[in-house]
Structure 1
Amino acid sequence: MWRKISAVVIPTVIAVGILAYMLWRVWDDLVITIASAHPLYLAAAVIVCTAAWFLRGWRYRAILGGLTVRVGLIFSTACIFLSQTANLIVPARLGDLVRLFILKHERLATYSQGFSSIVVERVFDVVTVAVLGLLALPFVLDVPDWFLPLIAVPIIGGIAFALFLWFVGDRHSENRILAVIYRIFAEIRAVSLNLQAVLILGASSIAIWLVDIAVCTVVVLMFGEWIPFPVIVLAVVIGNLVKAVPITPGGVGTYEFALAVTFELAGMAPATATVIAVVDHLIKNGVTLFGGIASLYYFGDWSVSLMKRSFSEGISREELREP
């Protein structure tokens, strides 16, 4: 029991501590900075952020289609909303497991199909973000030395993972655990390692992250700031790559810190950089939470108990077997 409590409490305390430190060091300038905000930009940022979610839903629908799981756009978007809402509460991105149960309950998909779809989505997300950061680097001056390896590692890792899947090929095993692993490899390879999939998933991933960057751009404009677009791209890239390490639920605290540091390195005032980072993430998490609540109504009451069961019991070996 204490292990489960500490797994939630400790990451939450870390997130609150990071945010508290960031706000404390610029507290005297916060009121002036917030007073300069233009409220209309807030509505625009929310609309743009919502559009990004439906783009994510469209891409996830395409991924599931490659796994022979047919769903609609609303269904696929609701799946992502619900799992990402869970990620705001549960550490280590365990909220993603909610999708496995939704797909099993609603579409009779296997757990391996659900897991494979999440892996494909995550790989395309991380690699796309890193590539956008790599493209932005030449246009940003005085970039810290640690930015390059942070961006290069996901790209190299993505290439290595693709090569690994390619050379593993189609394998089978009598061992139940190995059979599941080989099946997941085969599913990931089938849905991602072909020209059509790379073009569709790659193009949609770029569109998703450009829209995500557009949200941050609108927030920058909301506070009357002007900063080169490549700097905003790099800030969002660094923020999301740092957030990808599941230190805190939803990357709260770590994302804001990375975003603010990048803006400050580009010459932005610390108070303004902090407020922009906090508001940007607050908008994105707020839309996520609203979408997650709406998704609970969409799926019905069973989804609440299903989420609880997924975290309290986990997935057994028997459940991982093909139906």
Structure 2
Amino acid sequence: MYRKIFALILSLLLAVGIIGVMLWRVWGDLNAALQYLHPVYLVPAVLICVVAWFSRGWRYKVILARLSVIVPTVFATACIYLSQTVNLLVPARLGDLIRIILVKHEYDATVSQGLSSIVVERVFDIITVAFLGLISVLFVLNVPEWALSLIVIPLVLGALFFGVLLFMGRFSSENKYLGYLLTMLNEVKEASLTPSTAIILFFSSVGIWIMDTIICVSVSAMFNQEIPLAVVLLAIVAGNLVKAVPVTPGGLGTYEASLAIIFELSGVAPATATLIAVIDHLIKNLITVIGGVASIFYFGNWVVPEMMASIKRRLSDSGEEDV
């Protein structure tokens, strides 16, 4: 248990450290960059962010429906808000597991259905982001090799994953754990590989990530920067693919660093690039937290003790060895 708590503290310190180094590096130029601030562009950024979250909720509703769990869009959106809020506090995306508790408590879904819904959502997110990154590369010169690798690797892994799903249904096992895995993969296949569902999930995912990019465009406009859309898209792609590796809670620090590097390489002043990256993520995270708090009231008093118990159980796994 103590090792896991230490890892949690270390990941938080790493996130703070990365952002701290970014700001320290351009500290002398921050005041000049802030002179160009136009707060009016904050309004569309916030509005689009809220629409994007409800779009995520609608997509999650579709995924759950394919698993025979019928929920309203508001419930699905609240699930995502709350799980993402927890992800901002703990590493390794443990917040995602909160959704399993929510759909089980409110709609009697199985653990397998909860896990399968998360896998489907994450796979479509990563593949769609990588696909958009591949398109953006066609319009951006001198793309760094690390960014190309970030884009290609998820696409290859995604193709392999869907290739494995195609063979699901042909295997069975009497082993408890292997059988559970096969059941979950069959559910993932059912929820994602029918032509109509795949089309809906793909295009809704594309829309969600385009909105995420437009938020960053609005933040850029706050600093009077007309960064090409393809560059902003590439930055968002890089930031979210790096963020997918749960090194820090919610990708704090790693996301901002990825965006700032791409913007600087495109010719944006370091201080301005840093401010755009930090404020973009700050807006998205603040909306997430506000939505997460509202979701607690939506679900009721039972949800906080249940979440705390779940997180404690996760931190206490193999606790006898850790103490």
Task: Work out the percentage of aligned pairs sharing the same amino acid.
Answer: 54
Match of 2:3 in 1: 3
Q: Distance in 2 between matches of 1:246 and 1:216?
A: 22
Q: CA deviation at 1:170?
A: 4.1
Segments of structure 2 that go 5 or more residues without pairing to the other structure are 316-323
Could you list the structure 1 runs, at least 4 aligned residues long, displaced by more than 3 angstroms after superposition.
none
Q: Distance in 2 between matches of 1:168 and 1:118?
A: 18
Match of 2:117 in 1: 117
Q: Normalising by structure 1, report the TM-score.
A: 0.96
1:130 equivalent in alignment to 2:118: no
For residue 247 of structure 1, give the secondary structure of its aligned residue in structure 2.
coil
For residue 146 of structure 1, give the secondary structure of its aligned residue in structure 2.
helix
1:286 equivalent in alignment to 2:280: no
Match of 2:231 in 1: 231
Q: Distance in 2 between matches of 1:138 and 1:102?
A: 42
Whether the 8 Å contact between 1:22 and 1:274 is mirrored in structure 2 is yes
My pick for the range that moved more, 261-270 or 145-154, is 145-154
Match of 2:319 in 1: none
Q: Normalising by structure 2, report the TM-score.
A: 0.96
Whether the 8 Å contact between 2:168 and 2:189 is mirrored in structure 1 is no
Q: Distance in 1 between matches of 2:271 and 2:239?
A: 17
Q: CA deviation at 1:4?
A: 3.0
Segments of structure 1 that go 5 or more residues without pairing to the other structure are 316-323
Q: CA deviation at 1:105?
A: 0.4
For residue 168 of structure 1, give the secondary structure of its aligned residue in structure 2.
coil
Q: CA deviation at 1:169?
A: 2.7
1:215 equivalent in alignment to 2:215: yes
Match of 1:66 in 2: 66
Residue 170 and residue 309 in structure 1: after superposition, are their counterparts in 2 closer, same or farther (change >3 A)?
A: farther
Q: Distance in 1 between matches of 2:146 and 2:5?
A: 34
Q: Aligned pair count? A: 316
Q: Distance in 2 between matches of 1:5 and 1:157?
A: 31
Equivalent residue runs for 1:20-31 within 5 Å: 20-31=20-31
Match of 1:13 in 2: 13
Whether the 8 Å contact between 2:60 and 2:121 is mirrored in structure 1 is yes
**What's the Cα RMSD here?**
1.3
Q: Distance in 1 between matches of 2:139 and 2:172?
A: 48
For residue 92 of structure 1, give the secondary structure of its aligned residue in structure 2.
coil
Q: Distance in 2 between matches of 1:176 and 1:142?
A: 50
Matched AA of 2:244: A
Whether the 8 Å contact between 2:49 and 2:284 is mirrored in structure 1 is yes
Equivalent residue runs for 1:102-113 within 5 Å: 102-113=102-113
